[in-house]
Amino acid sequence: MKVAVVGATGMVGEVMLKVLAERNFPISELLLVASERSIGKTLVFKGKEYAIIGLADALAARPQLAIFSAGGDTSLEWAPKFAAVGTTVVDNSSAWRMDPTKKLIVPEINANELTPEDKIIANPNCSTIQMVMALAPLHKKYQMKRVVVSTYQSVSGTGIKAVRQLENEIAGVEGEMAYPYPIGRNALPHCDVFLENGYTKEEMKLAREPQKILDDRTFSVSATAVRIPTAGGHSESVNVEFENDFELNEVRRLLNDSPGVTVQDNPDTNTYPMPIYAHDKDEVFVGRIRRDETQRNTLNMWIVSDNLRKGAATNAVQIAEYLVAQDLLAKTLSYDR
């Protein structure tokens, strides 16, 4: 198995390598790929040092699998080139998510849609992944009508520049700003760029991606995305209205029985999900499960997950694991001379 990790030097790329090692993903040859300014530098994977190469060299090597986490522009340009030579691309950017010809995959929910012909596979937005992980089993049972979500997203979702801004502010050091305002001791209702409808791109991802993943456009999602001064882990307050009524104990059971979901919900012991406990874990944690007393058939939940792991790297690796397990990858790809 020849595997390329594109964007290996970025925050998600580094976690990707960690997850690949932890899960012992089958790799016979590893290609670490980054931008031109990183070519020639080295990274260590499983105790072995690897030199960073460029995209052209990685393409010439024809890996069976390429996991991209290098931004939308890079994916739009290079993912089709890799797909054209037979490589299966799992892409972590927003470039292909809403393309009707590409599948948007959360393995626990819809991996069975994948076929050998799917050469570019989209990894959903980090906030979308944790939300649909909790909503999918409840939607199947009770049929969602409307979801209202407010997110509390860590600075790591923006990238290393934002993490450094927060660290500088905590230390009282002036430095480069990732945001238009201070993030320390603050909350910015501004994730990604604003659109003409007054929502941000992040909010519209939360509105559109769940419908595609669940293959159902009969429910709607309204989102407000907020950046808060935490270094890692996204949190979400979710209010969901169902067609059918529910029992809270059954809701907790359905969630606990869902692969990848863990219920932490005991007010008597102050047990509820928090980013500090989700750090470096792959589960999606759900708590504060309670009935909305102002509206029929409506539930409130608090959902937390590590945005760099299940929200990005782990989900991508799980897609790759499914492709291997179902024998959906090309056996070998040779270079045509």
For residue 234, indicate whether it is catalytic: yes
- Written as one letter, the residue type at 335 is Y
Residues paired with 263 in a beta bridge: 286
- DSSP letter (8 states) at residue 309: I
Structure tokens at 312: 């990005």
Which class for 316: exposed (0-12), middle (13-18), buried (19 or more C-beta within 10 A)?
buried
- Written as one letter, the residue type at 101 is T
Catalytic hit among 139, 191, 234, 279: 234
- 51 Cβ contact partners less than 8 Å away, ≥ 6 residues apart: 32, 40, 41, 42
Tell me which residue of 58, 107, 123 sits closest to 87, measured CA to CA.
58
Tell me the H-state helices in the chain.
11-22, 55-61, 72-84, 107-110, 126-142, 160-171, 201-213, 248-256, 275-278, 314-325
- Angle CA(105)–CA(108)–CA(110) in degrees, nearest 5? 45
For residue 279, indicate whether it is catalytic: no
- Angle CA(263)–CA(268)–CA(269) in degrees, nearest 5? 70
- Write out the DSSP string of 268-284: GGTB---HHHHTT--PE
Catalytic hit among 126, 190, 191, 279: 126
Can you tell me whether residue 175 is helix, strand or coil?
coil
- The residues annotated as belonging to the active site are 126, 234
